[in-house]
Structure 1
Amino acid sequence: MTMYGAVEAGGTKWVCALADTDGRIVATEVVPTTTPDETIPAAVGFFRRHPAPAAVGVATFGPVDLAAGRITTTPKPGWSGTDMVTPFREGLGVPVGLDTDVNGAAIGELRHGAGRGLHTLAYMTVGTGIGVGVIVGGRPLHGRTHPEAGHMRVPHDTARDPFPGVCPFHGDCLEGLASGTSMRRRWGRPAQELEDGEPWELEAEYLALAVHNLAAVVSPQAVIIGGGVGGRPGLLGLVRARATELAGGYPLDTVITAPGLGNLSGITGAVELARAALSGNENE
């Protein structure tokens, strides 16, 4: 039976998995994200201890140069310039498919989750940071590199929200204003500890602005919002209501929904990256 290796490489942890031909996960291991010299060999070691995969898919945090297979300028100390492909390709002797973690999650949702039957969607993860993966015509969107919609500019009403933002590059971009990191610094407590009211109404405002921009530019059939902050009960209802108001009657209709795969979107997408790498269709 053909086995596929999958890695969801996050800034805090790497989830490594082995899946069968049908995509069923048969083995997993979590590796802490420390340094490249520690984390990557530990991930390769996971696959060496199990039946050899025919290919490996890596859905990684970024930014990443997909052509070179390397992480570029990341605020994660020690990871800029890290080669995310060669250690798996040479260490295991198999093809490797690479994409961003959010494009991976978008692929997972397209094939097996809330995006089944659709051809164009956006997956937005709202957690420590904000990332957006985009599928257009059934394929992950790649341009000069990959979408970085977490760094889009959104209107910032400084009278309502004087917080300057936390993005080290742009200050008050979407990630700088609406990530879990920004919520903790703005309100003095982690998002999980914040009660209903202004903190979540403000969060919904920024996410609705982002959805509006995505709807205007990409025209997705659905925007799927996940992540530790994005999964807050009641948040999507606030986002839907505000996005409708922002549209002002203009037909920017897009479904705003939660991930159908829960926290398995990314690793499921990484399995699909491996499947595509084995078939030679990495852009599918």
Structure 2
Amino acid sequence: MAGVIDKDTLIAGVELGGTKCIATLARGRTILHQSRWPTRGPETLDDIAAALDGWRRGAPFAAIGIASFGPLCLDPADPHFGHMENTPKPGWAGVDVHGHFARRFAIPVGIDTDVAGAALAEGAWGASTDCPVHVYATIGTGVGLGIVVDGKAVHGRLHPEAGHMRIRRTPGDTFAGACPAHGDCLEGLIGGPALAARANRPLAEVPDDDIIWQRVAAELGEWAAMLILCLSPHRLVIGGGVLDHRPALLDNIRVAVADNLGSYLAGLDLDALHDLIVPPGLGREAGPLGAIIIGQNALRETPA
């Protein structure tokens, strides 16, 4: 019999992001406590575990969910399950993220990508409820994609790494790209470090009519159109720090998607794209609540 979750079950969540880490204690979707740290080296995990220890003394939680940047090994049969793969973040490659918490806490510990967690949370409590096939794209320090089918995050040999797809460059754009592996893949063009390099000034100082935002909308619009053609989702949620600060981008992305699709998909005109492509229903809590969902799933899947 699997672990049981009721209205009183407490779950701890750990979201490891490219620039910040968030620990959350929640009952269902109700957040009771939260702590934040800048993402430094793997020693950040010690700080998070110490905070969880403190919470556990006063409010014992039943499981931990980890929603982490990647790439991650998520094959339970692999000896490196739960380890960080070849990430460009200094000091993190090869780190046993799952084991760091599983060895310290004698409770179920689940792990998935941060963007898959956000997708699961949006499906349970946010903009993608009642959508059998839905995706969550995050545009922040990196570009990530979580795919959910019938309530389960999709994994194959690896988790989706669609942020490293290459798309056509906009005319006149000579930026070489900032991805250390691929140069001008999508993440290398519109991830946070790439945008900072392209703008050559703080993004907050770049006006909405600057050509850089035209390029970002065109690039994201082509990428989103490819996702729609490949995955046929009922909902495509786009979140992350870049759109948090430039919400007007979403309308321009929809226009670019419509241009890329042409009239090929019946019924998917610009009006329909306003229902298909949406911002997160959970706002900035999609990531932290994603870690809670991952913890809930770990508890459900653990024999009682």
Q: TM-score, normalization: structure 2?
A: 0.88
Query: Hey, what does 1:240 align to over in structure 2?
Result: 254
Q: Given the alignment of the two structures, is residue 271 of structure 1 paired with residue 278 of structure 2, yes or no?
A: no
Identity %: 41
Report Cα offsets for 1:136-191 as digits up to 9, x if no partner.
2321110001000000111124x421111111111111111122221211121233
Query: Hey, what does 1:180 align to over in structure 2?
Result: 192
- Looking at structure 2, the residues matched to 260 and 35 of structure 1 have their Cα atoms a distance apart, in angstroms, of 31
Query: Hey, what does 2:3 align to over in structure 1?
Result: none
Helix, strand or coil at the partner of 1:236: helix
Q: Which of 275, 280, 284 is matched with 2:301 structurally?
A: 280
8 Å CA contact retained: 1:122, 1:134: yes
Q: Which of 117, 136, 139 is matched with 1:104 structurally?
A: 117
Query: Hey, what does 2:4 align to over in structure 1?
Result: none
8 Å CA contact retained: 1:180, 1:190: no
- Looking at structure 2, the residues matched to 187 and 10 of structure 1 have their Cα atoms a distance apart, in angstroms, of 23
Q: Which of 188, 193, 207 is matched with 2:205 structurally?
A: 193
> What amino acid maps onto 2:280 in structure 1?
P
Q: Given the alignment of the two structures, is residue 45 of structure 1 paired with residue 53 of structure 2, yes or no?
A: no
- Looking at structure 2, the residues matched to 144 and 123 of structure 1 have their Cα atoms a distance apart, in angstroms, of 20
Task: Provide the alpha-carbon RMSD of the alignment.
Answer: 1.5
Q: TM-score, normalization: structure 1?
A: 0.94
Helix, strand or coil at the partner of 2:241: coil
> What amino acid maps onto 1:260 in structure 2?
G
Helix, strand or coil at the partner of 1:144: coil
Q: How many residues align?
A: 279
Q: Which runs of 4+ in 1 moved over 4 A?
A: none
Kindly state the Cα deviation for residue 88 of structure 1 after the two structures are TM-superposed.
Answer: 1.3
Query: Hey, what does 2:102 align to over in structure 1?
Result: 89
Q: Which of 164, 168, 177 is matched with 1:155 structurally?
A: 168
- Looking at structure 1, the residues matched to 18 and 258 of structure 2 have their Cα atoms a distance apart, in angstroms, of 34
> What amino acid maps onto 1:180 in structure 2?
G
Kindly state the Cα deviation for residue 214 of structure 1 after the two structures are TM-superposed.
Answer: 0.4
> What amino acid maps onto 2:46 in structure 1?
P
Structure of greater relative contact order (alpha carbons < 8 Å, 6+ residues apart): 2
Report Cα offsets for 1:52-76 as digits up to 9, x if no partner.
2110000000011112101100111
Unaligned runs of 5+ in 1: none
> Greater shift after overlay, 133-142 or 188-197?
188-197
Alignment of 1:6-21 (within 5 A): 6-20=13-27
Rate the CA distance shift 1:96–1:176 in 2: closer, same or farther, 3 A: same
Q: Given the alignment of the two structures, is residue 58 of structure 1 paired with residue 66 of structure 2, yes or no?
A: yes
Alignment of 1:180-259 (within 5 A): 180-197=192-209, 198-231=211-244, 232-251=246-265, 253=268, 255-259=276-280
> What amino acid maps onto 1:46 in structure 2?
A
Kindly state the Cα deviation for residue 79 of structure 1 after the two structures are TM-superposed.
Answer: 0.3
- Looking at structure 2, the residues matched to 3 and 60 of structure 1 have their Cα atoms a distance apart, in angstroms, of 20
Report Cα offsets for 1:221-279 as digits up to 9, x if no partner.
11111111123121000000111011110117351110001100011111111111011
8 Å CA contact retained: 1:17, 1:28: yes
